[in-house]
Amino acid sequence: MPVKIRLQRRGRKKSPFYHIVVADARAPRDGRFIEKLGTYNPMTKPATIELNRESAYEWLMKGAQPTDTARAILRFKGVLYRKHLERGVKKGALTQEQAMEKYEAWIGVKEEKIAARRAETAEEIRKFHEMINGKAPAKKAAPIKSELTKGTPAAEEGSFVDSVEQTSVESLAGEAPVVEEAPAAEEAPVVEEAPVVEEAPAADEAPATDEADKE
């Protein structure tokens, strides 16, 4: 059975932490191992990987078979790229010095990218702490206006919620809106009484005519 480069789980429940080890394929996952190559912590952003590149490269050249996750880690740390360059050296495509120069340049660019990602994460954490500490940007206070007296819709200066908040602030401060007093009933104009109209004298009864005389 071949030798494996694989992960060995450590850490608490729901907080995994792994050791990168070289172990016999027949050994249990968290059992005995031959050599420890580094550690892998997936709970950070970006993930924290510490790896002995020289030892990992030597085990690869000896024929050790990495698992899928271990292969991704070796590729990320440049170990597989060095193995690829070594094949080019064996075929005569480039010299050993050229291969090491390319490898060192690749490692430098990779480390710069990782450092930039760590700085970006640190900036995000700093902004988050500022937000939860009450240092959010201040909002502009809406002017307090009485909509009842001006008759303007609430959408001109703010939402309905803003007008309700303003009314509540006025009530708490004791600045109740002044309501104009209705005119007293005594101030109503007095209607003059209509002049008394004297009854017209009854028409005198017509003199009775002697119908017999007319005949």
Asked, for residue 46, whether it belongs to a domain, the answer is yes
State the chain's mean pLDDT as an integer.
75
Asked, for residue 153, whether it belongs to a domain, the answer is no
Asked, for residue 204, whether it belongs to a domain, the answer is no
Total domain count for the chain?
Answer: 1
Average pLDDT for residues 153-176, to the nearest whole number?
49
Domain boundaries, position 63: 3-130
CB under 8 Å, gap of 24 or more: what pairs does 104-108 form? 106/78, 106/81, 107/78
Alpha carbons 24 and 4: distance in angstroms, whole number: 6
Q: What is the CATH number of the domain that holds 84?
A: 3.30.1320.10
Asked, for residue 78, whether it belongs to a domain, the answer is yes
Residue 22 has pLDDT above 90, yes or no: yes
Residue 179 has pLDDT above 90, yes or no: no
Predicted confidence at residue 145, as pLDDT, reads 56
Which of the pair, 153 or 51, is modelled with greater confidence?
A: 51
Asked, for residue 14, whether it belongs to a domain, the answer is yes
Which of the pair, 27 or 157, is modelled with greater confidence?
A: 27
Predicted confidence at residue 166, as pLDDT, reads 54
pLDDT in tens, 26-62: 888 888 889 999 999 999 888 899 999 999 999 999 8
The SS3 call for residue 214 is: helix
Asked, for residue 115, whether it belongs to a domain, the answer is yes
Predicted confidence at residue 132, as pLDDT, reads 83
Predicted confidence at residue 35, as pLDDT, reads 92
Asked, for residue 158, whether it belongs to a domain, the answer is no
Predicted confidence at residue 13, as pLDDT, reads 86
pLDDT in tens, 67-100: 999 999 999 999 999 999 999 998 888 898 999 9
pTM for this prediction: 0.57
Give 143's pLDDT tier (boundaries 50, 70, 90): low
Q: Is there a contact between 7 and 67 (Cβ–Cβ < 8 Å)?
A: yes
Give 138's pLDDT tier (boundaries 50, 70, 90): low
Asked, for residue 109, whether it belongs to a domain, the answer is yes
Q: Is there a contact between 5 and 74 (Cβ–Cβ < 8 Å)?
A: yes
Average pLDDT for residues 108-137, to the nearest whole number?
84
Predicted confidence at residue 51, as pLDDT, reads 92
Q: Is there a contact between 66 and 74 (Cβ–Cβ < 8 Å)?
A: yes
Q: What percent of the chain has pLDDT over 90?
A: 37
Q: Residue written as tokens 């500022």?
A: 130
Buried b (16+ CB within 10 A) or exposed e, 92-128: eeeeeeebeebbeeeeeeeeeeeeeeeeeeeeeeeee
The SS3 call for residue 66 is: strand
Query: Amino acid identity, residue 78?
Result: G
Alpha carbons 31 and 179: distance in angstroms, whole number: 86
Which of the pair, 104 or 166, is modelled with greater confidence?
A: 104
